[in-house]
Structure 1
Amino acid sequence: MAKDTPSIAKNKIKRSLSAILDPHPSTKEVTMLWAYFENSCVYCDLKMERKSRIGHLDHVVAQADGGNNSISNYVLSCAKCNGDEKREMDWLLFLNQKSDNADILATRKLKIENWLKKNTNVNFEATDIEEAEKIIAVALAQFDESVKAMRSLRVKIT
């Protein structure tokens, strides 16, 4: 079992605070996604069971590139496509590489584009993002100070 280190905890703090502003999809929304994509990988059409660990929710636009956690910014992908092959690649470029048949490519592309049009999530202003980043930076700095204090206490008692 993995142990939480201060660096893992910092990452969890950052993700947890970010999720307050941009929450992850609800169970109901995830169910809608699975139904829309007919339990199949959008890239290779592999049929998947939801209870298996093969199905992944793949950000279409990565958060690092300004994407959000709206359910319509995710597609259903198999573990191989999302984890092993696509990685950080643009979804359309990857879809083009996966599709040998022009008709299949067009059908899959249209399905993704229609899903993306459903995006009703709030678009954050640059100032909102800056303010959130400042709040997170303060929390992480306070955490770093707490880690230092705990390490000093440990040295004192050992």
Structure 2
Amino acid sequence: MVAPTLAPLVRAQANDSWLWVPAIADISEPVVTEIEAAGGFNLSCAIPSDQEGFTGTTEKLTLPMRNCETVTFEVNGSTNYSAPDFQVFFSPQAASGAEGKKAWEAMDDMSNGFLVRRQGKDAKTVIATGDFVDVVPAQLGVKIPTKTGTDAAAVYSFTVSASITSTPAWNVAVVAA
């Protein structure tokens, strides 16, 4: 008998990095310089800690039963990938290029690019060669300025939808330039 694999329990709190990257040549081998390129933005410290992740649903199809059979079987159908909407903190009165305005400026309305997510490593560290990331081709929606609530703890933010436009590359290694 094969011994069970004891997978480590890696804590998720403060260990998800999210980036918006304008261009990646090969999503199965993202280059560290592409991830760090100008025009992108590291969202990790500009989004709430309860930011949702990607989802995927594969439909199950039941094949027709033949006249001579008493059982039916399933096959996998198409898969639908979905990206979360993002709530991003920002400072509406910040000057252009200021920390509080960078996400607003980097995430152009209706732009195409890549959502890059690294899991299992401190979100305040930069992505490095050898890190494993998810690379998801996406199109952003239109940014809408808002706030996180109506009580005294509310802060200014904007929401932006994201749509997955092609098959993602899951858990791929970042390579050197």
Instruction: Give the TM-score category using the shorter length.
Output: under 0.3
TM-score, scaled to structure 1? 0.23
TM-score, scaled to structure 2? 0.21
- The structure with higher relative contact order (CA 8 Å, sep 6+) is 2
* Higher strand content, 1 or 2: 2
* Higher helix content, 1 or 2: 1
